[in-house]
Structure 1
């Protein structure tokens, strides 16, 4: 009887032990699942769509770049700008599991959330900035293309914003162009600020502005600057706007950011000049652009190259500042051409087509 009791007690202990281990296993599993689903402050970058700047917008079926007021020439092949898409962000954060999965994916890059969404900025503010950067990039691209064809655009200072509580608030609007200060013509922001330096706080100044294509005059009483009571201000943030001899419309939908500048410029240049810049090849690329044609580095070069290769590109234009990174991660079969300037990119493509002359490479 004693032996039987001991065996019975051991059986109960074994049962409790098994039950305990089972509960622990379930708890570990629950914690593992919860941990995997836990949001992390990272963003996953992946190849985004590419669009042919000398072709049609795939959504609207209309030319991506339309030019009015100048003769244009037919263009063949592709001059695609490239983009980077992302998953994650403050509104839809990545889970730990997704971050780890994408970290193991060669086509993706997992980066800190602040890379795209800086602290103290809302998602809406970031998206608005991206939209403005795209708009500025398009304007600068037109200017750079015109400079490359020998037609330098003029400029006019335009209101970007009016500061609350200062004289321009409620009087001047974003987009207003300031043509003159007290009859003195102003073609740049520096010209406006130079004229305003002649005034003391409390004096009235008359501005000639153009709003929605119509000229009008407005009078403002200057106020003391917040940081210097002796300096007169009207309370506007100005930026130079280009005035083009032709109308160029670029339609890319809701894509934002400045990194398509080089490819926009090349597309516009190709349409405005005789001949074929691509030679029928599928060329893609990236890079910011300045009016004088300098090409700037960008982010997400690896994802952009992958997106270009998947779309069919055989040649990729790389900003000089991204060359080392691009050479280390270039997909097989994609020729990298280094682009330091707009003029250099044009000549490289012409040489690539003719088979003569230098074609700078990121691997050299």
Structure 2
């Protein structure tokens, strides 16, 4: 009898321990990710080679379970975030992931645009439709469309921009129907959706989606940026540097391992990101010698200031360089002496 009790207790304990791995808590945990060389990820056709390397830095982010939560409480440079700090209101995890991938796509687009413009090369654009980033609960699109769908026709019409798509829909009345042609998982489908007034904006009608443009950039020489499932916009600056370096004969790396982070907009401005402390740790572990950090116009609580504090704390020899623009990063590298 006692043996059966012990065996039963062991099974129960095992069930609790295993269950703790799969039961999600209402938090996200982030920790240092990796610093990954960009040359194998980015390929400019007939591009120039480099002696050193540019590296993107990442943060590992995941839904917390009891074990990862406890681990993050104990370990330094692991952070815990409530769900509402990561997910927008009424946003699902699938929609969050789709949003991150779309921000990565936008980051790549801006990086190509800025790098080719800096290199004095021509750029053309091709509009391909819109991506669904989020579906509003209670609106007609719910259950018919989902985050990640690419809509490229409305009532059989194609449009030159998302603004023209919105103008077309806004001229209709609540209760009218539109037929959307969209792509999901490389399969094309059509769906008919009614228009409805938004509760929080009665004067506005729609189907209830948040959207971003899907457009491609046409350049010569061609460039490929392979990011797989890496999401978010924070690699923008480093993408731009790698693309530009392959386009020009002067090797900006000068033989150094150069990491960094920061968003990039179409004008080449560098913006702040989250998890700078964890990215400093990841870059240091990868042997980076220089790290570009968003300066935020010299703000006292900028990414750069946080990066300096972390670098000092982990006693790295890596040089932390503040930048507000892509041009500043290029000028710094142009003045850099060649590594012996």
TM-score normalised over the length of structure 1: 0.64
State whether residues 153 and 242 of structure 1, in contact with CA within 8 Å, keep that contact through their aligned partners in structure 2: no
1:45–1:84 Cα contact (<8 Å) kept: yes
Counterpart check, 1:243 vs 2:228: no
Could you tell me whether the CA contact under 8 Å between 2:131 and 2:214 is conserved in 1?
Answer: no
The counterpart of 2:325, out of the listed 313, 318, 341, is 341
Distance 1:169 1:120 in 2: 15
- Taking the aligned partners of 2:61 and 2:193, their CA distance within structure 1 comes to 48
Distance 1:288 1:100 in 2: 29
Partner of 1:101: 74
Question: Residues 88 and 191 of structure 1: is their aligned pair in 2 closer, same or farther, counting only changes over 3 Å?
Answer: closer
The alignment partner of 1:279 has SS state of coil
Distance 1:346 1:203, change over 3 A: same
Larger Rg: 1
For structure 1, which runs of at least 5 residues remain unmatched after alignment?
1-36, 55-62, 356-364
Q: Could you tell me which residue of structure 1 aligns to residue 11 of structure 2? A: none
Count of residues in correspondence between the two structures: 297
Q: 2: distance between equivalents of 1:342 and 1:74?
A: 20
Match of 1:65 among 11, 22, 42: 42
| Per-residue deviation, residues 57-104 of structure 1 (Å, max 9, x unmatched) | xxxxxx31134xx54222331100111235871475423xx455314x
- Give CA-to-partner distance per residue, 1:235-277, whole Å, 9 cap, x none: 5543223321145433344433321121112112222233212
1:154 aligns with 2:131: no
Which deviates more from structure 2 when the two are superposed, residues 312-321 or residues 86-95?
Answer: 86-95
Q: Tell me if 1:51 matches 2:32.
A: no
1:167 Cα deviation after fit: 8.4
1:144 to 114, 118, 127: 114
1:187 is displaced (CA, Å) by 3.1
* Counterpart Cα distance in 2 of 1:306 and 1:176: 40
- In the aligned structure 2, how far is the partner of 1:40 from the partner of 1:192? 40
The RMSD of aligned alpha carbons is 4.4
Query: Aligned equivalents of 2:93 and 2:170: distance in 1?
Result: 38
In structure 2, do the counterparts of structure 1 residues 75 and 187 end up closer, same or farther at CA, with 3 Å as the change threshold? farther
Quick check: 1:277–1:349 contact (8 Å CA) kept in 2?
yes
Partner of residue 256 from structure 1, selected from 231, 234, 245:
231
- Indicate conservation of the 8 Å contact 2:178/2:193, yes or no: yes
Gaps in structure 2 of 5+ consecutive residues: 1-19, 297-302
- The 3 A distance-change label for structure 1 pair 122 and 93 is farther
Distance 1:50 1:302 in 2: 13
Give the superposition deviation at 1:116: 6.6
Write the mapping of 1:233-312 to structure 2, written as runs, cut at 5 A.
233=206, 237-246=210-219, 248-312=223-287
304-313 or 153-162, larger mean C-alpha shift = 153-162
Is 1:352 paired with 2:336? yes
